[in-house]
Structure 1
Amino acid sequence: MKKNRLEAFSDGVLAIIITIMVLELKAPEGFEIEDLKSLAPKFLSYVLSFIYLAIYWNNHHHLMHTVTKITSGILWANMNLLFWLSLIPFTTSWLGEHITECDPMSLYGFNLLMAGISYWILTNRIIAADGNDSLLLRAIGKDFKGKISVVLYLIALLSLQFIYGLAPFIFVIVAIMWIIPDTRIEKSIEH
């Protein structure tokens, strides 16, 4: 299999995920601006999830530029990542309906955690396929950003038992960490 096929499939799945997620936003019954206030939790959870999906799409695009050969390990790791990303519309919807409740926030955080772990697995499968010469390995090094993200997700999940407001704050912080363009791969490809 060529990497452009894997990329096209992944792009298609992510486009569908984003489409499904936006379909969960329903217009209010009323016709005044005031009627939109009840949608604020849904809209905020949608915005955060859209940003996360955009980050994954962007970083997946960069990952694929480093791939020299597609292995079955890469295919399955990619499917694993897409599986966890495909659950984001569901966890976003539940969170938007019950934004102040612990269980929806926990499930949302668990979804983000598993997507982060899956992304890490995919990067490691790509590195393993290319060996010690891996362009990706040279680009990300010890992948501090990836590891700290997973640790922060775990802290957020644990904090839900004690300080509810910390978890959403951490989810936003991780998104900000990744929304700032990561040029490590681009720089490695240019050299």
Structure 2
Amino acid sequence: MKKLKTRLDAFSDAVIAIILTIMVLDLTPVLRDNLHDYLFLSKQVGIYIISFAFVANMWYQHATLFNDIDDMSYRIMLYDFLFLIPLSLTPLATNMMASNTTRIPVMAYGLLLFLVSASFRLLARSVMHFEYTDKSKMRQLYRKIYGRHNQYYLIFNAILIVLAYFFPQIVLWFYLPYPLIYLVLSSRDRQQMYDASQLTTAQRQEYLQLPKNAINQFREMVQDQAATGTDGNTANAHHLQRGFTGWLDQPVEADSAGHLVNPHNPSNNPNSVEVRKERQAQWEEFAKQIRDGSKKYRDAAAQIRKQQRNADRDAVKQASRQAEQQQEQRKHDAEVAAKEAEVQRESREKASKQAAKEAERQQETNKESARQAAKDIERQAKAKRRAAHEEDKIREHQQKTQQRTERRDAKHQAKQQKLQAKAQESNQNHQSETGNSDSTQDGHEKDDHSGNVDR
């Protein structure tokens, strides 16, 4: 199974190398001198760097995780395949985001990072379950040291997915420091894990009971002693520097003091026994400082509590005096308010009486106005009736005049008709007389003509 574990490491490294190669091949080359094409290539290179940093960080996490075990189980192998499946989709997501940097591709990229991180958490948990028993302090140490940063990592990723819906162009560049920060934090957590692995079981129990800031203080104390070379057993230690430059110069498989450590195979390090003794002695010194500090803290806390009790009593007395003053002030305010209310009530009564008088005067005025308006209406009605009567008389006179005119016209027309009839009758009589004379003359002419013919 050790050989199979080695081949699984090689298989995982090969898959990650192919992923990085495919991402490089997906970059679109510039074939023409066009500023737009060069800008688009620069954007693609930037997104490639983001994905490269993420994949490189996952390779480091995977390599350091598998370096802690010499064998594996079927669960570890299956979880490793499950981790590589979404990781192998990184070139596709990178190409999509480089070609179309909108909300959907950026959110899909963040979701892919979330799935890769979650699957790696399952893989790391399976490795810890395989390496340590349920009651092992090392598993508890692993959860205490790595657990908080893992939660922060996943929560931060989920927040970026939500923000990518609103600000995809901005969230895109937050994915670059995302793996780099986790790389630094995980390396510090790994150093703390190495420090804890060199302690005894009882010391690990005390280590688990410390808060997070106390654990960081112990790591800083180890680094200070390694940097100054004050302890005698650190002749071959790497003298460390503070800051980011000092972290870059540290060996990868090293504890906080710079010692190369393999907690699962101490025989690989000839100085591991001395390093363990040194770290245990440092822990005893640190624990003593913590206990002394705790005693001083308890004394200071007792003094503070005593001062707090005195301050509380003074505050209670002051509060009671203030309450009495406030009560007296409230009484005074109530009396003033009552007087003001009485004055306001009298003012309201006066105002209501004045308003009643004004209303009564207004009512009288309204009645007088109504009576005057009624008289005006009555006068107007009489005037309208008189005007109507006059109009009726005028219409009646006009009708009578029109009737007389019509009768005169009718009589005149009748006379005209009679005259016309007489004139027509006289014309007809004249015409008839003229016709008779013409016929008599014609008869005489005919008789003369016939006599001539007889002759």
TM-score, length basis structure 2? 0.39
Distance 1:36 1:135, change over 3 A: farther
Displacement of 1:39: 1.1
Displacement of 1:168: 2.3
Specify the code of the residue in structure 2 equivalent to 1:108: Y
Write the deviation string for residues 45-65 of structure 1: whole angstroms up to 9, x where unpaired. 101001111111111110011
Alignment of 1:67-78 (within 5 A): 67-78=69-80
Task: Determine the C-alpha separation between the residues in 1 that align with 2:174 and 2:34.
Answer: 34
- Kept after mapping to 2: 8 A contact 1:66/1:136: no
Pick which of 152-161 and 180-189 moved more.
180-189
Q: Name 1:185's counterpart in structure 2.
A: 190
Pick which of 162-171 and 46-55 moved more.
162-171
Q: Name 2:88's counterpart in structure 1.
A: 86
Quote the RMSD (CA, aligned, Å).
2.4
Q: Name 2:210's counterpart in structure 1.
A: none
Q: Name 2:288's counterpart in structure 1.
A: none
Distance 1:121 1:104, change over 3 A: same
Task: Determine the C-alpha separation between the residues in 1 that align with 2:87 and 2:7.
Answer: 19
- Unpaired runs of at least 5, structure 1: none
Distance 1:16 1:113, change over 3 A: same
- Kept after mapping to 2: 8 A contact 1:139/1:185: no
Q: Name 1:168's counterpart in structure 2.
A: 172
Q: Name 1:7's counterpart in structure 2.
A: 9
- Kept after mapping to 1: 8 A contact 2:132/2:138: no
Pick which of 29-38 and 13-22 moved more.
29-38
Pick which of 6-15 and 142-151 moved more.
142-151
- Unpaired runs of at least 5, structure 2: 195-252, 254-260, 264-455
Specify the code of the residue in structure 2 equivalent to 1:104: P
Alignment of 1:12-23 (within 5 A): 12-23=14-25
Distance 1:136 1:184, change over 3 A: farther
Task: Determine the C-alpha separation between the residues in 2 that align with 1:17 and 1:127.
Answer: 27
Task: Determine the C-alpha separation between the residues in 1 that align with 2:148 and 2:128.
Answer: 16
Distance 1:134 1:127, change over 3 A: farther
Displacement of 1:169: 4.4
Residue 37 (str. 1) matches residue 39 (str. 2)? yes
- Kept after mapping to 1: 8 A contact 2:87/2:116: yes
Query: Is the partner of 1:122 in helix, strand or coil?
Result: helix
Specify the code of the residue in structure 2 equivalent to 1:11: D
Larger Rg: 2
Q: Name 1:148's counterpart in structure 2.
A: 152
TM-score, length basis structure 1? 0.88
Task: Determine the C-alpha separation between the residues in 2 that align with 1:17 and 1:95.
Answer: 16
Distance 1:161 1:25, change over 3 A: closer
Write the deviation string for residues 55-104 of structure 1: whole angstroms up to 9, x where unpaired. 111111100111243111111111111111100000000000012x1111
**How many residues are matched?**
190
Displacement of 1:183: 4.2
Write the deviation string for residues 13-49 of structure 1: whole angstroms up to 9, x where unpaired. 1111111111001211214777421212211110100
- Kept after mapping to 2: 8 A contact 1:156/1:166: no
Specify the code of the residue in structure 1 equivalent to 2:171: A
Displacement of 1:178: 2.1
Identity of aligned residues (%): 23
Specify the code of the residue in structure 2 equivalent to 1:7: D
- Kept after mapping to 1: 8 A contact 2:51/2:94: yes
- Kept after mapping to 2: 8 A contact 1:45/1:92: yes
